[in-house]
A = this chain, B = another copy of it.
């Protein structure tokens, strides 16, 4: 019997959307459980390290969003054909995570002075450093991040994009046609296309 999957997260795309994309790509049913911001203190003590998303697989809990993605990617055949492909995917994924963390570090700063300072380095250094490199990488790999074929690195990037754009307050891919084209490719994939059409509408 197929395992029963329950994904628990805030009612946003955020860190859970790449997981939802991967399940949808693989045609795997999952319960998309969303709790409201006010209910978080109620759920937090039941998570392994006070963080969400968590995924329950037949009741057994997995935590850490990237770990969950890699696990689901294995189930749906997007985790690389061999160790060498897997390592290339992992390196891209960790680099996307670094990029995301820098944007989050700016966005969630509650001190206006320090936030403004971070905004400067985000827009003058971080974004102009990472995005041209991502663009070049995808251009050199036949339209995908790794080895000219779809892997979970692509789904991870595209699944985060609304959240990243929301936090940055701009369309990050405006000047990057190859990355925009990768987005179209991923969003047109059977499964993901249906998911995007039916998912709850949220800004982030």
Contacts and interface: CB of A to CB of B under 8 A. Distances in A.
Given A66-B94, A94-B66, A49 B87 contact: no
Nearest to A75: B83
Interface string A121-162: 000000001100100000000000000000000000000000
B94 A133 contact: no
Given A49-B95, A94-B66, A87 B114 contact: no
Contacts of A86: 71
A70 to B, nearest CB: 6
B49 A71 contact: no
Task: Count this chain's copies in the assembly.
Answer: 2
Interface residues of A, number: 27
Contacts of A133: 48-49
The dominant DSSP class at the A interface is helix
A62 interface: yes
A153 B91 CA distance: 18
Given A49-B133, A129-B50, A133-B49, A83 B74 contact: yes
Nearest to A50: B129
A41 B129 CA distance: 16
A129 B49 CA distance: 9
A27 B94 CA distance: 27
Interface in A28-68: 48-50, 62-64, 66-68
Given A49-B95, A133-B49, A87 B66 contact: no
A67 B49 contact: no
A45 B64 CA distance: 31
The 6 A-B pairs with the shortest beta carbon distances in the complex, nearest first, are A67-B90, A64-B94, A71-B87, A64-B91, A67-B91, A63-B91
5 contacts: A48-B95, A67-B93, A67-B94, A71-B87, A71-B90
